[in-house]
Structure 1
Amino acid sequence: MRVILCGYYGQDNAGDEALLVCLLQMLPATVEPVVLSANPQTTEERYGVEAHYNRDCPKIWQLLGQCDGFVWGGGSLMQDVTSVVSPLYYGGLMAIAQMRGLKTIAWAQGIGPLQRPPLRWFTQQVLRGCNGISVRDEASLRLVERWDLKAFLAADPVWSLAAENASPSPSPLPMVAVNLRAHRLLTLERLAVITQALKDFQQQTQTHLRLIPLQKSQDLAIAEAIAVELPGSYEILYRPDPRECKGLFRGAEFTIGMRLHSLIMAAAEGSACFALSYDPKVSRLMAEVEIPGWELANLPMDSNELSQIWQNHFQQRQPWKEAEPLQKSALQHQALLQKIFVG
């Protein structure tokens, strides 16, 4: 059985690449994956799978005639907060796969927010045509159930990702991991406040800051801009392989993160976390696993206040010990793949 895997792959976003790795690991042995990627050559080399360019419409049409199944492979593909094009693209491919008779799965999805009624209706229709649906958070489950659709809830698959050690010798100082990404809510003014707060936090706590970009194109420049302002020990570590990226959070006693999967990776490795939420999916994670943090839109604009908040959480930190139940829950997404593609 050949199955098309469709997601935000090949963009060197470690979070979405981690979802792909988890999906590949969970596929039944009888399934041959065919990955749609923005960088198919890298995807093939890194994971040893067949991959094709995700904007090559004639090739995708051909593949839909040659394959038996189609999977949305994790993430927040059907939402219109960051992009209107995204749900049209992913939903359109799913709809065509269904019309051509493929078995279709919405796998480990974060559904919504969907603020535009036509996109909400469209999402409902393509989900109604799926052979199976799994979601990664309570809000997505409630939305799907309001549409009278059946889905099951399990933790984000990245909780179950096995980390690989990819960091240099550890610093003798307590290590704090930091991940920030470019976003309209991270204005220059807010970035200046965060940078000053990190400077003060480092001076007061005598810590080593490890700046971890998860997506080079959106995170690295911010990490570099912060690094030159820091008064103490720091490093910038970027690992495009998601297993190595997760390994960078190993040993972090405290993590300040924007990206959803920076927080999941860090917490899964036992780090206490503080979230800076720029997206509803991050806020959902904060609520469901009780990670403290701020909505970025409501960030205190006093760097001293922000630094003091981080210092308090750092001083009161406890190793995060709730990962095991979430790791077991994440593995439940495998059952859906087995049910639909094997029976």
Structure 2
Amino acid sequence: MRAMICGYYGQGNGGDEALLVTLLQMLPANVTPVVLSANPALTQERYGVEACPARAWPEIWQQLRRADLFIWGGGSLMQDATSWTSPLYYAGLMALAQSLGLQTLAWGQGIGPLRRPWTCWLTRWVLGRCSEVSVRDQASAALLKQWHIPALLAPDPVWALQAKPGDGSLALPENRVAVNLRRHPSLTPERLQCLGEALRDFQNATQAHICLVPFQKSQDWAMAEALTRHLPGNYQIVYREDPRELMALFQGVRLTIGMRLHSLIMAAAMGSPCFALSYDPKVKQLMQDVGLPGWELQTLPTDALVISETWQAYFQDNQALSQEERQNLRQQATEHRTLLTRLCAN
């Protein structure tokens, strides 16, 4: 059986790469995956799968004609907050697969934000024609219920990702804090300055080693470098391309301060206490679903000392998700596999 897998792959985004690896872990053994990727050579080399250029339409057409199953492989693919062309691309591929009579699966999806009536209509139309749908949060499930589209609700699949330690060449101190920021309009220069000052004060008070963890170089690296200008020392920027090694970085971290959804999921899954800086409804939804503390960036305190003292309290409190809670989330996340098993048995 051949399955074409479509997502935001080959773009250097650690969270989306983690979704791909988790999906590949869950695929039944009788399935040969073909991954649409912006960097097919790297995807093929790193994961040992066949890959196809994500915009090579003649090749995509040929691959679809040979496929049995088409999968949206996790993430917020149908949203128009960043671009109106993105939902058009993903929905177009799904509609093409459906017109060819393939079984189609929207897997581990977070739906929205959908701010335009036509993107909302398009999303409802293609999801209503899918063979199976699974979503990762309550808001997406509620929207599909309103649309009368049946869907499996389970936590984000990355909760079930199997971490893999790196080669051991990087020795990290025990008293460490992980920080992930990404470029976003809500993270204004003034807020970034305030966060940098707060992190400096926090480090002076706790003597913590600061690990700045970019998930996507193009958006996160500059934010990490901006924070280093506030720190007196005892920090490093740690980047991992393999999502399994990226997840392993959070083992033993005393506190994770994260913007990206999957920085928080990976850290929480590895037993690190988390503090969220929400820039998107999906992060706010995670905070509600799992009970993570944090602020929305638009309501971030303007006093760096208030931010620092709040982080210090969570650093000292050290309240991570319990082992039982993490195990339950991992187990529930594996429910996304049931749809794969069912479709691939047909």
Q: 1:312 deviation in Å?
A: 1.4
SS in 1 for 2:11: coil
SS in 1 for 2:283: helix
Alpha carbons 1:176, 1:207 under 8 Å: kept = yes
In structure 1, list runs of 5 or more residues that go unmatched: none
SS in 2 for 1:177: strand
Deviations 1:210-243 (A, max 9, x none): 1100111111121122123212311111001000
Over 6 Å off, 4+ runs: none
* Match status 1:253 vs 2:227: no
Alpha carbons 2:15, 2:215 under 8 Å: kept = yes
TM-score by length of 1: 0.98
SS in 2 for 1:74: strand
Alpha carbons 1:276, 1:294 under 8 Å: kept = yes
| Amino acid in the other structure paired with 1:158 | V
* Match status 1:335 vs 2:335: no
d(CA) in 2 for partners of 1:318 and 1:36?
Answer: 40
In structure 2, list runs of 5 or more residues that go unmatched: none
d(CA) in 1 for partners of 2:124 and 2:321?
Answer: 37
Within a 5 Å distance, the mapping from 1:80-119 to structure 2 comes to 80-119=80-119
Q: 1:170 deviation in Å?
A: 2.8
2:135 maps to 135
| Amino acid in the other structure paired with 1:323 | R
| Amino acid in the other structure paired with 1:171 | P
Within a 5 Å distance, the mapping from 1:1-150 to structure 2 comes to 1-150=1-150
* Match status 1:201 vs 2:241: no
SS in 1 for 2:308: helix
d(CA) in 1 for partners of 2:193 and 2:172?
Answer: 28
* Match status 1:308 vs 2:312: no
d(CA) in 1 for partners of 2:22 and 2:270?
Answer: 16
SS in 2 for 1:176: strand
| Amino acid in the other structure paired with 1:282 | V
d(CA) in 2 for partners of 1:217 and 1:72?
Answer: 24
Q: 1:23 deviation in Å?
A: 0.5
d(CA) in 2 for partners of 1:113 and 1:261?
Answer: 18
Q: 1:110 deviation in Å?
A: 0.3
2:245 maps to 244
| Amino acid in the other structure paired with 1:110 | G
d(CA) in 2 for partners of 1:175 and 1:253?
Answer: 6
Q: 1:252 deviation in Å?
A: 0.4
SS in 1 for 2:343: helix
Deviates more, 1:217-226 or 1:66-75: 217-226
Report the identity percentage: 58
TM-score by length of 2: 0.97
SS in 1 for 2:203: helix
Alpha carbons 1:253, 1:319 under 8 Å: kept = no
